[in-house]
Every structure is written in C-alpha cells, then in structure tokens.
Amino acid sequence: MKRISYELLQAEHAWMIVSDQLQQRNNVMAKGISHLERNPKGLPMASRLIILRYHLKMSLRQLTQEVHKQPTTCGIDPLDIQWQHIHQLLFLLRQIDSELGRATQENEVLRTWMQSLDGRVYRSALVHLN
C-alpha cells in the first residue's frame, strides 16, 4: 500500500497549479494570435506570439521528457525530482509571462485585446507556490 504524505500532496497541488497556468497561457496566446491575424497591423505580433507559443510547447515537452528519462533507482527521492520539475515549469511560466507582457506593451492591438479579457482568465495562482 502506498503512503501519501503531506509533502506529496503539496507537490501534486503545485504541479496542478503550474500546469493549469501554462495551459491558460497557451490558450491566451492561441486566442491572441487569432485576434491579431484578423488585423493586418497585428500580423508581425501574431508571428511573435506563434514563436513564443512554440517555445512554450517545445520547452514543456523537453522538460517532461527529461523527467521521465531520469532513473528513479539512483537513490534520488522521486519527490525531489517532482519538485525540481515543478520549479523548472515555474521558471518557464515566468519567462512566458515576461515575454507576453513585453509583447502586450509593444502592441496596441494586443494590449487592447488583453485588457478586454476577463481578469480571471489571466490571474495567476502562483501566490500559492511562493
């Protein structure tokens, strides 16, 4: 029988929060790209968001593959590996937020669209992790 500890529950909760936040950013970028593609002035920024979204997907895939490749029998606690993965995803999330924020400041069409979004869509739950 597997024992569940408080630390394991905390790690699972943190992983769910970071995963949900990454999925929200992916969705926001996809909708933003669609919105920008409708306006000829928004096409360069749409291209930039496409690259950013690609970076998000590829980085996420790479990080996840690296975690699955790590041997669990080397005396390393699986919980430590999970927390390392969570922190890597959190770093990726902060990079995406930074780039998305920079893009929003540089493009009026994107900024207006982002301001029209429901605040709950983009609100970060990262305070639970800090």
How do residues 115-126 score in pLDDT, each as one tens digit?
Answer: 888 765 444 554
Exposure on the CB side of residue 78, measured as CA atoms within 13 A = 9
* Alpha helical stretches, state H, 70-129: 78-106, 108-116, 119-122
Distance, in Å, from the CA atom of 55 to the CA atom of 51, rounded to the nearest integer, reads: 6
- Which band of pLDDT confidence, cut at 50, 70 and 90, is reported for residue 130? very low
What does the DSSP 8-state code read for residue 76? -
The pTM assigned to this predicted structure is 0.80
Structure tokens at 18: 């970071």
Rounded to the nearest 5 degrees, what angle is found at the Cα of 64, between the Cα atoms of 62 and 68? 115
Residue 67, pLDDT above cutoff 90 = no
Q: Average model confidence (pLDDT) for the chain?
A: 85
pLDDT, average across residues 90-98: 93
- Cβ atoms of 81 and 70 within 8 Å: the answer is yes
Taking every pair of Cα atoms in the chain, the longest distance, rounded to a whole number of angstroms, is: 60
pLDDT, average across residues 47-59: 94
